[in-house]
């Protein structure tokens, strides 16, 4: 399965110590340079940035300049725009995105998408994590925005509510 990721799922999985959930599910995750810069270079000495930098299964791939990239860059942040264009270029099976505008645009282009919560819900359903609630509570302390409604819906999806 060919997967492209934006920075948010990588950063926040790293912050809660679950980055390896992606390695368990995917052989390789492609990221564009802008995502690498945000997740690793701007992350500096943070443990999540170090975990991402040392993950041999995360590969940086150049995104060629295109009119679509220019258009998307006017609507989204650089990492999201590059991730969507890269996913289209490589015909990715899945793109990992959390931001709602980026998810809507990915959908417009026919990209199959999930986000951090989707990864965690699947991990819970597969028995790779014991409690979704524990990790959702941790996410709330990392700067990940999670509405009460989405929090509750995620817990209901795995019968933890």
At 6-46, the pLDDT tens digits run 999 999 999 999 999 999 999 999 999 999 999 999 999 99
**Is the per-residue pLDDT at 143 higher than 90?**
no
Q: What is the CATH number of the domain that holds 88?
A: 3.40.50.1010
Rounded-to-10 torsion of CA 121, 54, 52, 137: 50
Residue 53 forms part of a structural domain: yes
Residues 6+ apart with CB under 8 A from 43: 11, 49, 50, 52
State the Cα angle at 43 between 64 and 139, rounded to 5°.
105
Q: What is the pTM of this model?
A: 0.94
Query: Are the C-beta atoms of residues 101 and 75 closer than 8 Å to each other?
Result: yes
Residue 160 forms part of a structural domain: no
Question: Residue 152's pLDDT is what?
Answer: 96
Residue 151 forms part of a structural domain: no
Mean pLDDT of the chain: 96
Where does the chain show beta strands of DSSP type E?
A: 3-5, 29-32, 58-61, 94-96, 113-114
Residue 102 forms part of a structural domain: yes
Cα(143)–Cα(4) distance, integer angstroms = 22
Quickly list H helices, 39-115.
Answer: 47-54, 67-75, 78-89, 100-108
Question: Residue 16's pLDDT is what?
Answer: 97
Question: Residue 29's pLDDT is what?
Answer: 98
State phi, psi for 15 to the nearest 5 degrees. Answer: -65, -30
Residues 85-99, mean pLDDT to the nearest whole number: 97
State the Cα angle at 97 between 93 and 99, rounded to 5°.
150
Question: Residue 121's pLDDT is what?
Answer: 97
Residue 155 forms part of a structural domain: no
**Per-residue pLDDT band at 94 (split at 50, 70, 90):** very high
- Please give the tally of structural domains in the chain: 1
Residue 73 forms part of a structural domain: yes
Residue 129 forms part of a structural domain: no
Residue 101 forms part of a structural domain: yes
Beta bridge partner(s), residue 61: 32
Quote the domain boundaries for residue 18: 3-116
């Amino acid at each position: 399965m060919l997967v492209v990721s934006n920075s948010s799922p990588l950063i926040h999985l790293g912050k809660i110590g679950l980055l390896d959930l992606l390695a368990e599910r995917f052989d390789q995750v492609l990221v564009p340079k802008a995502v690498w810069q945000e997740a690793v270079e701007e992350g500096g000495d943070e443990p999540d940035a170090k975990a991402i930098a040392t993950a041999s299964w995360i590969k940086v791939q150049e995104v060629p300049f295109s009119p679509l990239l220019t258009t998307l860059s006017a609507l989204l942040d650089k990492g999201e725009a590059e991730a969507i264009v890269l996913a289209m270029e490589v015909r990715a099976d899945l793109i990992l995105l959390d931001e709602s505008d980026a998810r809507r645009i990915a959908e417009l282009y026919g990209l199959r998408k999930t986000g951090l919560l989707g990864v965690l819900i699947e991990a819970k359903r597969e028995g790779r994590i014991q409690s979704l609630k524990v990790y959702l509570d941790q996410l709330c302390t990392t700067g990940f925005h999670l509405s009460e409604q989405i929090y509750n819906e995620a817990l209901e999806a795995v019968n933890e509510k």
